Each structure stands twice: as structure tokens, then as C-alpha cells.
Amino acid sequence: MRKKSFLQSFAWVGIMLLLMGCFFLMFAIIIQIIPMNPGDVTVRYNGEPMPSTEASVSFFKLIFLFGFGTPALILMSIGGILFGRTLGRKKRNRKLIEDGACVNADVIEYAHSAIRVNGRAMNYLRCAYTMEGKTYVFKSGLLRMNPAPYLSQNKVKVYYDRANMKRYFVDIDGSLNTEICEL
């Protein structure tokens, strides 16, 4: 079983949208495969049955493909973007942990964000570190709960890119009851 994290993950939303899109697309493709005769499709115009032809059956199949295929592609696109961003963020954070510099930032506050999930405000941790006379403020990702009681010395590890201080990762899970960064 995977260890619980303080960070909130929304990868499940992307997976759910991808699965819904696959279901819609599968349904649209199955209708395209099923053989239909002109007698199987009844088209009514102002309540009057219209004569069914091979062209009307193929037109019906195209409308069905468009009606279910378009939402499927939209759902799959949104789900793929959400899931891809989550995987990209995890990869970037792993790279920062491996190659980036580590500092021990002091926790400033546990604050509410503007994002609400199920009527509950999401929170994040703000921390600061002073280097060469300049103070840098870092913000963690969205959190499930307040990690402050579990942090040693009220400090948190922050990994940053040496070339660009704007690329950083606040490692709350790695800061819990462990040694601080070696400078």
C-alpha cells in the first residue's frame, strides 16, 4: 500500500475523465460496427414516417458518431491534460530532489487557498528562507491537513533549481521527523 501524503492529488480526476471518454468512444464505435438495414431505422418528420434508405442509415451512424465521439474526445483531452500535468509535476519534483539545491525554510503560516473541494477550503504552507540578504518565500502545493505538528524545528525542506529560484518544490513529506538539509 502506498504511503499517504500531505499533498492533495487530483490525478484521479484525470483518470476518471479518461475512462468516461473511452466509454463514450467505445459506444460510438460499436454503433458504427453493428450492421443496420434501412428497415431497422425509422425516421419521422412531423410525426410522419419517412422512407428509409441506405444513405439515411449511414447519415444516422455519422450523427451518432459525432454525438458520442465529440464528447468522448473532449473528455479524453481534458483528462489527458490533467493526468499529464500531474505526472509532469511529479517528474519535475523528483528531478529537483535529485539535482536541485536544498534549503531549510522556516514555516511562516498555514493558509487557506481560494480553491474549494467539496465545500472545504484547501490549504497550503508558506515558508521563507533568507539567502545572501534576500528573503525568498515558498508556497507548497495544496494540503490535506496541517503538517506543522509533525515538522521538526518548524522547518521544511525546499528544493530549488540553482539556475532559477522560481522553480522549487516544498517537500513536506520528506521533512517529517527527519534530518534537515545539509548545506
Partners of residue 45 on adjacent β-strands:
48
Structure-model confidence comparison of residues 179 and 62, the more confident one = 62
Q: Does residue 1 surpass a pLDDT of 60?
A: no
Number of Cβ atoms within 10 Å of the Cβ of 59? 13
Under 8 Å between Cβ of 123 and 111: yes
Instruction: Give the per-residue pLDDT at 66.
Output: 93
Cell digits of residue 83: 493526468
Of residues 124, 133, 136, 130, the one with CA closest to residue 165: 136
Of residues 13, 61, 16, the one with CA closest to residue 34: 61
For the stretch 109-158, pLDDT in tens is 988 888 888 888 888 999 999 988 899 999 998 888 888 787 878 888 99
CA 108 to CA 124: how far, in whole Å? 11
Cell digits of residue 35: 450492421
Q: Give the three-state DSSP class for 48.
A: strand
Please provide the average confidence, as pLDDT, over all residues in the chain. Answer: 86
Under 8 Å between Cβ of 159 and 96: yes
In this prediction, residues 72-80 reach a mean pLDDT of: 96
Instruction: Give the per-residue pLDDT at 139.
Output: 92
Instruction: Break the chain into its structural domains and give their ranges.
Output: 11-96, 100-175
